[in-house]
Structure 1
């Protein structure tokens, strides 16, 4: 790193040599002590130093010089570098000249000739110290301003993120509230109709009423179950408790739960998972993922359709896929599946209702277990939902 420079200006060579010698004995190790015999030369030299990116802590100038006087020199230097400290060293300065230097160049100090060496050295020491402190303060102020600007920007960004998140959740819960009304209205309507007209309703119709109530109850229960699990995940109350388990076992358990729905639509489900496959993840979360994906596949598959559950080794993970030959999705529907602010409710092939909440839950649970959920779908040709899980070692 280059030394900073202290400049001394006087038209008398003997004066310059004396000042240079006295200052170099004290400051020579840390600063270059440069001299100039005129205000014009000193100003040009000063500009050259600034162009090179150097700082000039102190400039000492005589007042009476041929051409440019000391007060005018210091004034122009102040305009170029306000932080440089200016000292007027002369025995013939007028009150007007000193006032000009004070008012227009912020003169640091006036020293009369002949000067005392100790006084000169102490004055320059204090000037250098003030210069360095001012530079440090300016740097800290700049850093603080930048930090404040950065923090303000982060606050604005975070506030906007929270606003969008809250707006999305508000909209999402309004959708949930709306969708909860439908099954409850159905339950209330059917049960009231049965209570008021029990004797007049034929037995065959009674069975249909009970089936409809059962169907609405299951739909509402599944919705509430997913909503509860999703709410717990949002508040951080659901923690990942990973362990080694067989995906085949939890898929078989869920198929038993969903068997009645699949059988009612005469849908064939082929579970092709390898019994030797072992994963390391939260078993309960992954059970929820499989249940939702298989339930959705049944919902959007036509009667007499097929569903296939497969697994493949993929690097350090296993990839599990639930594939159906149902109604599929267009690009717009597929792209909005995981957008909280979008209403992606679609009715199943037997007019089953849903909100898409289960898919949000699947995505979060898979990602919580270091996996990734992907979707491949084509309208009227079916859908494939795949997710990865770490292999158990």
Structure 2
């Protein structure tokens, strides 16, 4: 949209501004016509040129401005949906096609090769792990897309997060065993005030990243720490670590940070970016402390009680 049109829209964005413009235009036309045509009652004509535009233009301007705002809102919603659709297509093409190709390869190997019982068991285990990971990604993607499209607010409540963390740890059991990671749980006795589904989404994605970037026979520890009115869910790993530039990339703008895991695991960076958005909705934040080659400590920081309005 060109600047002159924007200026005109701003000028006519309030009913009284439209009325003033109409009145000035009406008076101008009356005075202009009075210069060439003799007016029997100048005062009466001038009064009409002042009053009539107010009576006519004010209600019309209210209706027009109402429709304009509605159209602008619909245009903004369509633009947001377009952005969501583009993200979804990017994620689907990147994060689903690759796992599907892996699944197809495993199924084809089992279908067209005569494996012994032990090898079949190994392939079925790998197949189960890949299906679980794909299901996890689809669950997160579905939750995120529904929340974005419907504009759902966070439904915060007080809850103990130990059960959530233990369940998510069990979800990644196959991945932890495959990489022989020493997964330990510290003190998990804490209460958080947040949306339980949002919290589970964030923990799931941060823990998945920790596993992804931790080498075989590494270690991951999860614990809670209370500081004032906040609870820190700390997920610490002995992985490859992050540089300051990489940490800045995670938090800055719309750019997604992604790199291959220690076992060539692929990703888009979607989960971490969505997690940061969810934490903002829950009046929380993410903190990352890391040194390249020495592991990473990610803190999911949320209130432990309702914050004052």
The answer to whether the superposition gives a TM-score over 0.5 is yes
Pair 1:378–1:138, CA change in 2 (3 A)? farther
Q: Aligned residue for 2:102?
A: 186
Cα–Cα, structure 1 residues 338 and 163, in superposed 2: closer, same or farther, change >3 Å? farther
Distance 2:214 2:156 in 1: 33
Aligned ranges for residues 142-221 of structure 1 at < 5 Å? 144=61, 151=68, 155=72, 159=75, 162-163=78-79, 166-167=82-83, 169-198=85-114, 201=115, 205-221=119-135
1:280 and 2:211 matched: no
Q: Please, what TM-score do these two structures have when normalized by structure 1?
A: 0.56
Residue 328 of structure 1: which of 238, 241, 252 is its match? 241
Decide whether aligned partners of structure 1 residues 175 and 106 sit closer, same or farther in structure 2, where only a CA change above 3 A counts: same
Q: Contact 2:256/2:273 (CA < 8 Å) preserved in 1?
A: no
User: In structure 2, what is the Cα distance between the partners aligned to 1:367 and 1:224?
Assistant: 22
**Which residue, 133, 136, 141 being the options, matches 2:51?**
133
Kindly indicate whether the alpha-carbon contact (under 8 Å) linking 1:176 and 1:355 is maintained by their aligned counterparts in 2: no
Q: Are 2:23 and 1:109 equivalent residues in the alignment?
A: no
Tell me what 1:304 maps to: 217
Q: Deviations over 1:163-206 (max 9, x none)?
A: 365145324423323432222222222222222221xx456544
Aligned to 2:139: 225
What is the aligned residue count?
Answer: 278
C-alpha distance in 1 between matches for 2:143 and 2:251: 16
Q: Where does the alignment leave 5 or more consecutive residues of structure 1 unmatched?
A: 1-80, 86-100, 111-122
- Flag the 1:130–1:168 CA change in 2: closer, same or farther, 3 A: same
Residue from 177, 181, 191 that aligns with 1:267: 181
Shift of 1:136: 4.4
Residue from 284, 290, 294 that aligns with 2:203 = 290
TM-aligned CA distance change 1:321 to 1:174, over 3 Å: same
Query: In 1, Cα distance between the equivalents of 2:186 and 2:120?
Result: 40
Among 271, 275, 278, the residue aligned to 1:358: 271
- The answer to whether the 8 A contact 1:325-1:381 is kept is yes
The separation in 2 between residues aligned to 1:193 and 1:252, in whole angstroms, is 34
Asked if the contact 2:276/2:285 (under 8 Å) is kept, the reply is: yes
* TM-score computed with the length of structure 2 as normaliser: 0.68
- d(CA) in 2 for partners of 1:226, 1:271: 24
Say if 1:135 and 1:160 are closer, same or farther in 2 by CA, change over 3 A: closer
CA distance in 1: counterparts of 2:252 and 2:79, whole angstroms: 15
Structure 2: runs of 5+ lacking an equivalent: 1-26
* Cα gap change, 1:164 to 1:232, in 2 (>3 Å): closer
CA gap 1:385/1:158 in 2 versus in 1, 3 angstroms: farther
User: Deviation of residue 374 (structure 1)?
Assistant: 4.1
Q: 1:283 to 1:104 in 2, by over 3 A?
A: closer
Helix, strand or coil at the partner of 1:109: coil
1:389: Cα distance to partner?
2.3
Contact 2:106–2:127 (CA<8 Å) still a contact in 1? Answer: yes
